[in-house]
Amino acid sequence: MNRLTAPGRRLFLSGDEAVARAALEAGVHVATGYPGNPGGGALAALLPLAARFGLAAEWSVNEKVALEVAAGAAWAGRKSLVTMKMSGLNVLADSLLSIAHSGVNGALVIYAVDDVGVFYGMVEQDSRYYALLASVPLLMPASPEEAYAMTLLAFRASAQTGAPVLLLGTTVVAASQSWIRVAPLERRAVEEPASFQRDVARFTKAVPQWCREQHAAALARLKQAGALLSEVNGREEPTASAKAPPSRERKVGVVVAGVSAAYLAEVQARLRAAPPLAVFKLGLIHPLPREELEAFLAPLEAVLVLEELEPLIETQMAALIAERNLRVRLLGKRGGLLPRVGEYNQALVARALAALFETAGYRESAAEAQALAAQLSALPEPGSFLAPLPRTLEFCPGCPHRMTYYALRRALQAAGYQPDEVITTGDIGCTILGIHAPLSVCWTEVSMGASLGIAQGLKYAGIERPVLAAMGDSTFFHGGIAGLLNAVQAGVRLTLLLLDNGLTAMTGQQPNPGSWQAGTGPTAKPRADIETIVRGCGVTFVRAVNPYELEATVATLREALAFPGVAVVIARAPCTVPGRLLPGQEAPFQIEETRCCAGRGCDELPCYYEVGCPSIVLMPAEEGADEELRARRELRVRIDPLSCVACGLCAAACPFEAIGPLAAAESDYNEQKEMVAAWPSLLMQE
The CA dihedral of 50, 55, 56, 62, to the nearest 10 degrees, is -70
- What DSSP assignment string belongs to 541-571? EEEEE-TTSHHHHHHHHHHHHH-SSEEEEEE
CA count, 13 A, side-chain hemisphere, 404: 30
Mean pLDDT, residues 325-331? 97
d(CA 339, CA 265): 20
Helix (H) or strand (E) holding 531, with range, is helix 530-536
Mean pLDDT, residues 128-144? 98
Mean pLDDT, residues 174-186? 93
Is pTM beyond 0.75? Reply is yes
Looking at the chain, the domain(s) classified CATH 3.40.50.920 span 233-381
Q: Which residues are annotated as a binding site?
A: 596, 602, 607, 613, 644, 647, 650, 654
Predicted local confidence at residue 8, as pLDDT: 79
Question: Cβ atoms within 10 A of the Cβ of 672, count?
Answer: 14
d(CA 658, CA 683): 38
Tens-place pLDDT, residues 533-557: 999 999 999 999 999 999 999 999 9
Q: If you average pLDDT over every residue of the chain, what do you get? A: 89
Determine contact, residues 558/552, Cβ cutoff 8 Å: no
Q: In this predicted model, which residue has the larger pLDDT, 621 or 680? A: 621
**CA end-to-end span of the chain:** 20
Helix (H) or strand (E) holding 237, with range, is strand 234-239
Predicted local confidence at residue 667, as pLDDT: 47
Question: Cβ atoms within 10 A of the Cβ of 187, count?
Answer: 13
Q: Which residues are annotated as a binding site for [4Fe-4S] cluster?
A: 596, 602, 607, 613, 644, 647, 650, 654
SS3 343: coil
The alpha carbon of 362 is separated from its chain's Cα centroid by a whole number of angstroms, namely 43
Helix (H) or strand (E) holding 158, with range, is helix 144-161
CATH topology of domain 400-514+528-572: Rossmann fold (3.40.50)
pLDDT at 262 over 60: yes
pLDDT at 664 over 50: no
Determine contact, residues 124/341, Cβ cutoff 8 Å: yes
Looking at the chain, the domain(s) classified CATH 3.40.50.970 span 3-231, 400-514+528-572
SS3 379: coil
Diameter of the chain measured on Cα atoms: 89
SS3 524: coil
- What DSSP assignment string belongs to 627-680? HHHHHTT-EEEEE-TTT-----HHHHH-TT--EEEPPTT-HHHHHHHHHHHHHH
Determine contact, residues 82/30, Cβ cutoff 8 Å: no
- What DSSP assignment string belongs to 41-95? HHHHHHGGGTTTTT-EEEE-SSHHHHHHHHHHHHHTT-EEEEEEEHHHHHHHHHH
- What are the beta bridge partners of residue 636? 619
d(CA 686, CA 684): 5
pLDDT at 665 over 50: no
Tens-place pLDDT, residues 381-412: 654 544 444 567 789 999 999 999 999 999 99
Q: If we measure between CA atoms, which residue out of 640, 649, 636 comes closest to residue 676?
A: 640
Determine contact, residues 438/612, Cβ cutoff 8 Å: yes
pLDDT at 525 over 60: yes
Q: Which residues contact 683 (CB under 8 A, 6 or more apart)?
A: none
Mean pLDDT, residues 185-196? 78
Task: Write phi, then psi, for 683 (nearest 5 degrees).
Answer: -65, -40
pLDDT at 147 over 60: yes
Determine contact, residues 126/114, Cβ cutoff 8 Å: yes
Determine contact, residues 397/643, Cβ cutoff 8 Å: yes
Residue 101 Cα distances to 95, 193, 211, 311, angstroms:
10, 25, 8, 26
Predicted local confidence at residue 675, as pLDDT: 46
Tens-place pLDDT, residues 218-249: 999 999 999 999 999 988 766 555 455 544 55
CATH topology of domain 3-231: Rossmann fold (3.40.50)
| Of 149-158, 176-185, 244-253, 605-614, the least confident | 244-253
Tens-place pLDDT, residues 17-74: 999 999 999 999 999 999 999 999 999 999 999 999 999 999 999 999 999 999 999 9
Task: Write phi, then psi, for 684 (nearest 5 degrees).
Answer: -65, -35
Q: Where are the alpha helices (DSSP H) in 177-302?
A: 200-203, 208-229, 260-270, 290-297
The CA dihedral of 656, 657, 661, 665, to the nearest 10 degrees, is -70
Predicted local confidence at residue 373, as pLDDT: 94
The alpha carbon of 539 is separated from its chain's Cα centroid by a whole number of angstroms, namely 32
Q: If we measure between CA atoms, which residue out of 96, 100, 129, 98 comes closest to residue 218?
A: 100
Q: Does domain 233-381 have CATH number 1.10.730.10?
A: no
d(CA 346, CA 348): 5
SS3 472: strand
In single-letter form, the type of residue at position 479 comes to G
pLDDT at 357 over 60: yes
